[in-house]
Chain A
Amino acid sequence: MTSATAHRDHPETAAEFVANDARAHWHDQSLWFVRARRDKASQTLPEWEELRERASKVKLHTMSRMADYLEQFERNAIALGAQVHWARTPAEHNEIVLGIIQKHNATRVVKSKSMLTEECHLNPFLERNGVVVTDTDLGEWIVQLRNEPPSHIVMPAIHIKKEEIGELFHDLLGTEKGATDPPYLVNAARQKLREQFLNAEIGLTGVNFAIAETGGFVVCTNEGNADLGVSLPKVHIACMGIEKIIPKAADLGYFLRLLGRSATGQPITTYSSHFHGPRPGGELHIILVDNGRSNILASPEFRRSLNCIRCGACMNTCPVYRRSGGHSYSTTVPGPIGSILAPTRDAQEHASLPFACSLCGSCTDVCPVKIDLHNQLLTWRRELALKFLVPFDKRLGMSLAAAVFARPWLYRVGGAIARRVFPWLPRMLVYNRWNPWGRQRELPEMPAQSFRALYARRKRNHKVPSDQKPASR
């Protein structure tokens, strides 16, 4: 029997996260700490804004010739001895991965962090097919052990406290009960993961940057787990979204300098591992995945979202993400960029995400590749309204308000009546459960007169000569 879980919108899931005030504040402060580190690290580079501009231009140029660069990459990667596969959908991607694993009669896979494989739900698919897959990024492994998705693309377990990890490790790894000391817990994880590395038959990684000019690619990690994962097994499978392509090796510097600083405030990720073809006697498979990316490429409004290098800075800065947690978005990539990408796949299911935003614009200013995130979220709202996916009460409310605003007399009279009547209403009539404003906030005090009334009186008192008024056409 399959259990169908009803989809829940962001306001509901966010309210649940916010209800635990201590946890929500802890989450907010953890991520603000990362944002502050990002600020400091970016300020050490006088050329920061120029770097952003150049990286953005490289990406926009790449998008204008995406197919050419992907084909160039394929030719050069094959020349280096790699095998290149193309997948249109997550299902095709997963089948290709499974096919390679089965061809080698393998069952044990170690995987370094890859949001693309999360997007394709690769782990459960492989597990259903008898493959034991271990996520080797510590945070990713922790969420795997907890049987839940990552809540952040760079810090997948940022929502979990060290006490909870201590308990989890006690139950699953036999660490001491009540132990919360990070070095102790990390060491226990290292022991266990080392076994997985030693026994693995296949190493699977993501791709941060693929270089058309050389056919090589770069994987960035802080734990070196990608290198460890592909060092012993003979077979390396690298899964990449097609937007990871950049034209030249010389472009890489912009992105590597921006990525670490934007993501965690480090000058650069600890390991930037370059792969050029398979190791001697081994196999390298590169899977290029579309999964809706060419649709985004085809849309002028959202094309720029393909600039994304998955640094997570927009999440760290987003006041809504920080307070509502990554899981409240119910999508693989949460936060501002996720709220743009998710509706491109399923607008109906993710219709609440572009509204999980106060349009503050901080994501746009923090983005290292200059994606105009908040404007794209606003554009999504318009697209959703066109598809009738904005809730009926919201649409009705806006139509009514617009009808009033289109008739100045109605607006004037309505305002005057509201200002007269409101102060006399009993409190329980105004502050009830249908008034979300009033749950934690007072409504403004009603003035006796509107500005226009006071202005008219003021004008009567000091007469303005009529020749000073603007002439009308």
Chain B
Amino acid sequence: MPRVGLFIPCYVDQLYPDVGLATVELLEQCGCDVDFPTAQTCCGQPMANTGCTEAAKPLARRFLEIFRDYEYVVAPSGSCVAMVRNHYHDLVHEHPDFEAVHTKTFELCEFLTDVLKVDGFPGSFPYRVGLHQSCHGLRELRSGKSSELNVPGFNKIGGLLESLDGLQLVSLQRPDECCGFGGTFAVSEEAVSCMMGLDRLHDHEQSGTQVLTAGDMSCLMHLQGLIARQKKPLAVMHVAQILAGRKPQLPA
């Protein structure tokens, strides 16, 4: 029974608790012994991405200490995992726990497909689903083939989703363009960020998306914010919620 330390990004903990619960349920369904160490807060990504490396370092050290004793660390977020796996080196490469922790930290869907070798989930989700390929999961963790590269195609999140009965993945005009969230970018470059988000939504609307999903709640928070303001008829769910059998709240 793999012992998994659950890494729930701070904003998911505070704002999207059901995404965390869905993650626990999925991992337990797959036979994992899941534990949520409550001392965790934030991995330090917002600080590091803003250039404030010194502010991020103590958080990175805390993270390593909290998670060092687990067999695996799993998070429902490609972006936070990419921070640990690809960028902790710049912050805490000299830490004795760095090497072990950064190699055993996984994004939920890649953990399910690559480590647990899960092919799919039972259950049905009879909706047209638009998968937003969050950039950090896609291009930093390689959760799928990005449209720029000429390598054989694969899609870890899409593969899991398509195992559900009745689920139909829509094809987008621009399959993996950024939604415009980008952390503090969403605020400091508000004009471009919102234009990017609205363009992504337009692509999904044109392609017939009913439920918009992603492996990262942060992208979805930005897109949901635009959807809510514009009252667009799109439901938003994290991929963990769909896989765990939640039903969408579709507009009447």
Kindly identify, within residues 60 to 110 of chain B, every residue whose CB is under 8 Å from any CB belonging to chain A.
Answer: 62, 68-71, 87, 90
CB distance from B125 to the nearest CB of A (A): 23
A395 to B50, CA, bound (A): 8
CB distance from B185 to the nearest CB of A (A): 5
Q: Does B225 contact A (CB under 8 A)?
A: yes
A364 to B86, CA, bound (A): 15
B1-29 CB mask vs A (1 if < 8 Å, else 0) is 10101001010111111111100100000
B29-72 CB mask vs A (1 if < 8 Å, else 0) is 00001011011111010111111110110110010000011110
B198-230 CB mask vs A (1 if < 8 Å, else 0) is 110000000000000000000001101110110
CB distance from B172 to the nearest CB of A (A): 13
CB distance from B226 to the nearest CB of A (A): 5
Stretch at the interface among B113-121, B133-141, B162-170: B133-141
Residues of A within 8 A of B112 (CB): none
CB distance from A117 to the nearest CB of B (A): 30
CB nearest neighbor in B for A411: B41
A48 to B51, CA, bound (A): 34
If over half of A's interface residues share one DSSP class (helix, strand or loop), that class is named, otherwise mixed; here it is helix
Stretch at the interface among A72-80, A93-101, A382-390: A382-390
CB nearest neighbor in A for B34: A464
Chain B residues within 8 Å of chain A by Cβ, number: 86
Residues of A within 8 A of B17 (CB): 447, 449-451, 453-454
Q: Does A471 contact B (CB under 8 A)?
A: yes
Given contacts A28-B199, A43-B150, A401-B47, contact A455 B20 (CB under 8 A): yes
Given contacts A398-B55, A447-B17, A451-B13, contact A49 B151 (CB under 8 A): yes
B153-189 CB mask vs A (1 if < 8 Å, else 0) is 0000000000000000000001011101111111111
CB nearest neighbor in A for B229: A442
Residues of A within 8 A of B59 (CB): 402, 405-406
Task: Assess the A439–B177 pair: CB atoms within 8 A.
Answer: no
Extra contacts, 15 of them, besides A380-B51, A470-B71 (Cβ < 8 A), are A45-B150, A324-B192, A355-B189, A358-B183, A359-B136, A362-B139, A362-B178, A365-B146, A365-B149, A381-B51, A394-B52, A398-B52, A402-B56, A441-B228, A452-B36
28 pairs of residues in contact across A and B, judged by CB atoms under 8 Å: A14-B191, A15-B192, A18-B192, A18-B195, A21-B195, A24-B195, A49-B150, A319-B177, A355-B189, A358-B178, A359-B182, A360-B177, A360-B182, A365-B149, A390-B50, A390-B51, A395-B52, A398-B52, A406-B62, A408-B40, A437-B190, A439-B190, A442-B229, A444-B15, A447-B17, A452-B38, A464-B35, A468-B1
